[in-house]
Amino acid sequence: MVKYAVGDGYLLLAYLAGDVQPEDIEQMTEYAPAKIIISRDSVADDAAMANAYSILRDHGVELKLLKYGYPFRPA
């Protein structure tokens, strides 16, 4: 897992790897960040995205999606 933490107390976590799984989301919530950033391309499908939103909502964590994936692929 490639992740970066910003701020004291992990205010922000960025997940820059592909194929994010529910287990990855659960593991990131253990750091209690205010926000997690992942790429839209990292999530397999709409069901997986809904699952990620649900997990993060239950932990009070905001999800921010990046338009471009990893590695960077501009339009």
The answer to whether the CB of 29 falls within 8 A of the CB of 55 is yes
Map out the domains of the chain as residue ranges.
3-66
Tokens of 64: 């921010």
Residues in the chain: 75
**Predicted local confidence at residue 1, as pLDDT:** 45
Sequential pLDDT tens for the chain (75 residues): 445 556 666 678 888 777 888 898 999 898 888 899 988 888 888 898 899 999 999 999 999 988 765 555 544
The answer to whether the CB of 73 falls within 8 A of the CB of 40 is no
Distance, CA of 69 to CA of 33 (rounded, Å): 21
For helices 46-58 and 22-29, give the axis angle rounded to 10 degrees.
20
Q: What is the DSSP letter of 11?
A: S
**Predicted local confidence at residue 68, as pLDDT:** 63
